[in-house]
Amino acid sequence: MSLLLILACAIFLVQLFTFVHITLGLRTMEQLHRMVLLKNYNSLSAPKVSVIVPACNEAETIRPALKRLLAQQYQNLEIIVVNDRSTDRTAEIVREIQKECRRDFELLEITDLPDGWLGKANALQVGAEKASGEILLFTDADVEMEPTTIARAVQVLESRKIDHLSLIFQHIGGNWLLNALILDSACGLLAMFKPWKAGDRSSSFGFGVGAFNMVRSTAYRAVGGHSRIRMQPIDDLMLGKELKAHGFRQLCMLGRQQVMVCWYPSVKAMVDGLMKNVFSVLHYRAWLAVVVAVMIFVGTLLPVAAIFFTSGVVQLVFTAAVLTRIIGLLVTAGMYNMGPGVALGGLISPFLSIYIVLRAMVLVTRDSGIYWRNSYYPLDELKKSKPVIF
């Protein structure tokens, strides 16, 4: 057997395993909208939930997100919006909504960032310290929730006697190329962190989602809140991992009909946005970024090129590898109401993924840190945070 055929078979088997693994994993996850809603969760006798919404220059998204939050059917609700040094109309819009709505909520202002903290982690910590609820819900200023979302989530938290519940959201909007890039990124995260294992107490896999991280305040404070992950750009995922590592019970569910987010409005926005995250997942190790870029090339781009330069059995196996990946994208796209155009986008998105990984590595190394929301964070401080992976 030739080395090229061995390579083709290895790529095909990896693609097939990844597709089956993610598909079966997602199918084992429960869906929040299928939970029967009990009426008593609409009363003031239900546990108090404090919702913390960090907002830094969110003028374009915060109005619809906050309006949907204020429309939640859950009654015993405390809403805290944390304006984190915004330079746009974010605070002004929030104050306008305060005057328009009958439901009260609080606006906290952060004017200075403490040393040794990332902006969002600090905003979440500030909001949590102000919160008085038995249950904390960390969400984002661009998240739109269906009116029964919090009520259903609390019901799950209470009935299952768990400490942390996260929901995988439904991405809304996006063209064929953006959606393909989103699916590539999402599948990478799913394969790496396996959210369907979050509820397995014998597994070390923990998970968290920034759009919807619901945690009991006692558990949150027991792990030190966000102070333990103060310099971690992927604070949502790391909060879940910290809670799991400390023995708290957690569960990740599919919230596609309950939590909607336009994750990124354009390809450019996603490329820019992932610059702060992707290198942190690798804990700022340049050699690992190169390895990841090579793996993406070998696993996705090489098989497409090989179809045109090989023949016989080798060509057939490479073709099978390409088709397996495309079918995987189409199946996942169908689950998330994305169009079939992702199949075409899947042939281009790996170029963007490689570019993101390598550019993030170059920029962070060159600048000795990251720039995020008009703040600079030194690489030496970032490296002090706990690694996301090994």
Query: Does any domain span residue 199?
Result: no
Mean pLDDT, the chain, whole residue set: 93
Coil vs helix vs strand at 31: strand
- Residue 53: pLDDT band with limits 50, 70, 90: very high
Counting the structural domains of the chain, the total is 2
Query: Does any domain span residue 183?
Result: no
In the structure encoding, which two tokens stand for residue 49, read together? 């939930």
Percent of the chain with pLDDT over 70: 98
Q: Tell me what pLDDT residue 372 has.
A: 86
Neighbours of 287 (CB within 10 A): 9
Instruction: Please state the rounded mean pLDDT for residues 68-88.
Output: 96
Domain extent for 320: 3-25+269-382
Q: Are residues 150 and 294 in the same domain?
A: no
Distance CA(380)–CA(87), nearest Å, equals 28
In the structure encoding, which two tokens stand for residue 67, read together? 């309006």
Q: Tell me which DSSP letter residue 263 carries.
A: S
Q: Are residues 144 and 276 in the same domain?
A: no
| Measured torsion, CA atoms of residues 64, 259, 103, 60, in degrees rounded to the nearest 10 | -20
User: Residues 195-213: pLDDT tens digits?
Assistant: 999 999 999 999 999 999 9
Global pTM reads 0.94
Residue with tokens 């196996």: 317
Which helix (DSSP H) or strand (DSSP E) does residue 214 occupy? strand 213-216
Q: Are residues 21 and 54 in the same domain?
A: no
In the structure encoding, which two tokens stand for residue 330, read together? 């189409």
Q: Are residues 312 and 353 in the same domain?
A: yes
Q: Are residues 108 and 222 in the same domain?
A: yes
Q: Tell me what pLDDT residue 36 has.
A: 78
Residue 290: is its pLDDT beyond 90? Answer: yes
- Residue 138: pLDDT band with limits 50, 70, 90: very high
User: Residues 160-209: pLDDT tens digits?
Assistant: 999 999 999 999 888 999 999 999 999 989 999 999 999 999 999 999 99
Residue 1: is its pLDDT beyond 70? Answer: no
Q: Are residues 376 and 245 in the same domain?
A: no
Over the Cα atoms of the chain, what is R_g? Answer: 22
Q: Are residues 284 and 336 in the same domain?
A: yes
Residue 390: is its pLDDT beyond 70? Answer: no
Distance CA(84)–CA(140), nearest Å, equals 12
Query: Does any domain span residue 359?
Result: yes
Query: Does any domain span residue 201?
Result: no
CB 25, CB 50: distance < 8 Å: no
| Measured torsion, CA atoms of residues 120, 124, 127, 132, in degrees rounded to the nearest 10 | 170
Query: Does any domain span residue 249?
Result: yes
Query: Does any domain span residue 388?
Result: no
Q: Tell me what pLDDT residue 203 has.
A: 94
Q: Which of 248, 264, 280 is the last residue of a domain?
A: 264
Between 5-9, 60-64, 136-140, 386-390, the lowest mean confidence (pLDDT) is in 386-390
Helix runs in the chain, H state only: 3-27, 62-70, 90-100, 119-130, 149-160, 176-193, 217-222, 235-245, 267-274, 278-281, 286-296, 302-307, 312-335, 342-345, 349-367, 379-382
Q: Are residues 221 and 304 in the same domain?
A: no
Residue 360: is its pLDDT beyond 60? Answer: yes
Q: Tell me which DSSP letter residue 48 carries.
A: P
Q: Are residues 256 and 279 in the same domain?
A: no
Q: Are residues 274 and 132 in the same domain?
A: no
Q: Give the Å distances, CA to CA, from 49 to 45, 79, 132, 155, 261.
A: 11, 8, 8, 12, 21
Query: Does any domain span residue 246?
Result: yes
Q: Give the Å distances, CA to CA, from 145 to 54, 66, 152.
A: 16, 9, 12
Q: Tell me what pLDDT residue 35 has.
A: 85
User: Residues 307-339: pLDDT tens digits?
Assistant: 999 999 999 999 999 999 999 999 988 888 888
- Residue 374: pLDDT band with limits 50, 70, 90: confident
Residue with tokens 């596609």: 256
CATH number at residue 58: 3.90.550.10
| Measured torsion, CA atoms of residues 354, 355, 361, 365, in degrees rounded to the nearest 10 | 160
Q: Which of 249, 264, 279 is the last residue of a domain?
A: 264
Query: Does any domain span residue 194?
Result: no
Q: Tell me what pLDDT residue 335 has.
A: 85
Q: Are residues 138 and 234 in the same domain?
A: yes
Residues 6+ apart with CB under 8 A from 267: 175, 177, 178, 181, 352
Q: Are residues 165 and 256 in the same domain?
A: yes
Percent of the chain with pLDDT over 90: 81
Residue 239: is its pLDDT beyond 90? Answer: yes
Distance CA(39)–CA(157), nearest Å, equals 16
Q: What are phi and psi of 73, to 5 degrees?
A: -75, -20
Q: What are phi and psi of 227, to 5 degrees?
A: -65, -25
